Structure 1
Amino acid sequence: MTKKLSFKDYLFIGSMLFGLFFGAGNLIFPVHLGQEAGAATFWANLGFLVTGIGLPFLGVIAIGVSKSSGVYELAKRINQTYAMVFTILLYLVIGPFFALPRLATTSFEIGLAPFIDPSRQTLYLAIFSIVFFVLAWWFSRKPTKILDYVGKFLNPAFLVLLGALLLLAFWNPLGSVNQAPIQPNYQEHAFFTGFTQGYNTLDALAALAFGIIIVTTIQNMGVTKPAEIAKDTIKSGAISIILMGIIYTLLAYLGAMSLGSFALSENGG
């Protein structure tokens, strides 16, 4: 008999999915968008949310509803050659080609770069990247523990720290959003500019890979009926998407307010 998941189960799975989605780009892109959009942050952020959380949600739904066991099986419904090419390109994009390099560079840019002589940053970035990925490899040696690390420990700690930062930022704002200057690329069609920026998170692609993890987790919890798995995937995904949308919005407004005390950043870091 298939198990009925509780709200606590949905919350755990949704939190886990949020931890998988929320990477380096998810932290810096909304802040940078807010800095560039300035007083037009509302419309720019709205466009960002459509592609930044709307498309990933559709990706998770697609995996749950299609009852696919992986990206390759889902894409194979078009044809086998397409499925092979699409799957390889997808994992290269969300892996070594784009997503993985910016994990180390974002951490370095935020945590160490302000305290290092610019002339020596290349060397220190190389050393930092080696240490960073060795630690990442060490933690990923036991795949069954990754979800526990993310869902039970890393993600709650991150949310507490980020929540404290946002609380302080809005309690004592650095500037006014309404008076923040709007950069040229957001002065017209702010919504559509934000819409295109939302693709930079890569979550629209990652959702197809992460959706499989969610389906597997739900199955491991005792849910066996395909229809129930699809419903539980959608419910869990909705929790994650709502949480991401709130954080994206707060980060975007934080970026706009920061112009009261800080210059426009080069990359959001």
Structure 2
Amino acid sequence: MFKNGLQIGLMLFGMFFGAGNLIFPPSLGFESGSMFTPAILGFLLSGIGMPVIALIIGTFNPGGFRAEMNQKISPAFSLLLLALIYLSIGPLMAIPRTAATSFSIGVLPITGDGTLPLALFTIVYFAFAWWLAITPTKLLARLGKVLTPMFALLIVILMLTGLFSYTTTSLAEPLGKYSTSAFGTGFIEGYNTMDTLASFAFCILALNEMRRIHFHSAREHYTSVWMAGLAVAVLMGALYLGLALLGNHFPIPPEVYGDAHINLGAYVLSQSSLALFGPAGMYFLAVMVTLTCFTTTVGLIAAVSTFFYEEFPIMSYQKYATLVSLVSLLLANLGLNEIIKVSLPILLFIYPIAITIVIMTILNKFAALSRTGMRLTVAVAALISAIDILHQFAGFGWAGAVIKSLPLHESSLAWLLPVLAALVLSLFLPGKKIHGETELELH
């Protein structure tokens, strides 16, 4: 059971660790400067803590988060939220971002910029991703045992070589929001990895793999889930910390970090590879980044296609995979920075709701909660998230006043205490139920 858990964990790690996981830690490391420690702690909390907990909780229930939300809120809500999550981490944002990141960081330094090189690269990239994704039963063998170890080894080589070459913090004073709220800014950067949302999707693939394994008892299943979660946490944590430290130590000229059009994470990865390995560094980087993002692309195409095929079986899984690949191909040609710019408001809305559901699910394993109270809790998270978006992206003064009146707003956690208050209320409202571990079908 330990071996099964580790193999599934390696597969899931390969799916999780993609575009955002590569570019955000080096950027955070540089911009946080002397405030590196609180910034990376915030990033690890939202970028690893919540995704792994969500993955474990979702995989404990044979029906995944769909079954949990059906019980706690309503089938209509769970279908709507999961559809939004799958579209967000799928063809509308995360999948195109993986291809755009691969091109921007790995391929562009070799081919040069332009619409034609990007188009040719993404066509080949998504053709291979589609070919692997249309046979989901082979994901464990192809991703977990082959591609994931390859890209992880390349990242480790870059990290260790860079950390031995650059030993001091390159920026003494933190930049931007890191100077006033390093922990909260790092926490929000963890949002950008989309991994908590990806947990909602990948627990389906983990469950499918576990159904193919002959477990003799529920204990073996739960032990394998914990082992898979631990493997994901350790591997992601090590790479996050190493990449962030590389960004913290790598020197960037003021004219570069002062240019809003330059993605600092991509800059650190590309320039450090070139500085450390010479001309061969370009090809090293191209292989490393493309493999890293490619495994996530394959996993996301499979997860999104599985969800929509199970919920809306109007066409085959293979046709869904084809549709997801084609839409992602078209959107990937917008470019990396444009995709990130569009994705952030949507993430800031969905993420607190997703985290609320994870917290609520954990609590409900041990304490009876009112269904009315749980619905209220989710509504509170959604309302505060919507107000925060109106404040940050629409500039509404009243929205800013509301957010600033709430505790923890300086750490971008204005929703947290109201959500916890609603959860406490759920302990006392009528119609309380407790949902413990669900019986597993062992075969």
Separation in 2, partners of 1:169, 1:253: 9
* 1:73 aligned residue (46, 50, 67): 67
Given the superposition, is the C-alpha separation of residues 64 and 142 from structure 1 closer, same or farther in structure 2, using an over 3 Å criterion? closer
Q: Quick one: distance in 1 between partners of 2:240 and 2:5?
A: 21
Partner of 2:348: none
Equivalent position amino acid for 2:42 in 1: G
- Structure having the higher Rg: 2
CA distance in 2, matches of 1:126, 1:172: 36
User: Could you tell me whether the CA contact under 8 Å between 1:185 and 1:193 is conserved in 2?
Assistant: yes
Counterparts of 1:174-253 in structure 2 under 5 Å? 176-177=168-169, 179-223=171-215, 225-253=217-245
Preserved contact between residue 6 and residue 227 of structure 2 (Cα < 8 Å): no
TM-superposed deviation, 1:233: 0.7
Deviations 1:160-204 (A, max 9, x none): 11111112111211x622754421221111011101110111110
Separation of aligned partners in 1, 2:132 and 2:12 = 18
- Equivalent pairs, count: 260
Q: Deviations over 1:115-145 (max 9, x none)?
A: 4444xx2332122212211111122222111
Structure 2 length normalisation: TM-score?
A: 0.55
Equivalent pair of 1:64/1:231 in contact (CA under 8 Å): no
For 2:150, give the aligned amino acid. Answer: A
CA contact (8 A) 1:176 1:260 kept: no
Aligned-partner SS, 1:95: coil
Aligned-pair identity in percent equals 39
Q: Which has the higher contact order (CA 8 A, sep 6+)?
A: 1
Unaligned 5+ residue runs, structure 2? 267-443
**Residues 2-41 of structure 1 correspond to what in structure 2 (within 5 A)?**
5-6=1-2, 8-41=3-36
Contact 2:171 2:248 in 1 (8 A): no
Match of 2:153 in 1: 160
CA distance in 1, matches of 2:115, 2:21: 24
CA distance in 2, matches of 1:60, 1:243: 15
| Aligned mates of 2:117, 2:172 — CA distance in 1 | 35
1:28 and 1:268 in contact (8 A); partners too: yes
Structure 1 unaligned spans of 5+? none
Contact persistence 1:64–1:234 (CA under 8 A)? no
Asked whether the 8 Å contact 2:51–2:196 carries over to 1, the reply is yes
Please show how residues 53-202 of structure 1 align to structure 2 within 5 Å: 53-65=48-60, 67-77=61-71, 78-118=73-113, 121-173=114-166, 176-177=168-169, 179-202=171-194
Indicate the SS of the match to 1:144.
Answer: helix
- The corresponding residue for 2:38 is 43
What is the letter of the counterpart of residue 231 of structure 2? I
Deviation readout 1:31-78 (Å, 9 max, x if unpaired): 11112112222211110000000111111121133x232443232121
Q: Which amino acid aligns with 1:164?
A: I
Runs of at least 4 residues of structure 1 off by over 6 A? none
| 3-state SS of paired residue (2:63) | coil
Task: Deviation per CA, 1:17-38: give whole Å up to 9, x if none.
Answer: 2111111111111111112112
Cα displacement string for residues 66-114 of structure 1 (whole angstroms, at most 9, x for unaligned residues)? x232443232121111011012111101101110111111000111222
User: Secondary structure in 2 aligned to 1:123?
Assistant: helix
**TM-score under structure 1 normalisation?**
0.89
Q: Residue 223 of structure 1: SS of its match in structure 2? A: coil
Confirm or deny: 8 A CA contact 1:186 1:193 kept in the other structure: yes
Aligned 8 A contact 2:30 2:171 in 1: no
Q: Which amino acid aligns with 2:202?
A: F
Indicate conservation of the 8 Å contact 1:75/1:86, yes or no.
no
In 2, the alpha carbon distance for the partners of 1:38 and 1:261 equals 14
Contact 1:39 1:178 in 2 (8 A): no
Quick one: which amino acid aligns to residue 130 of structure 2? W
Structural RMSD (CA): 2.0
**Any idea what SS the aligned residue of 1:182 has?**
coil
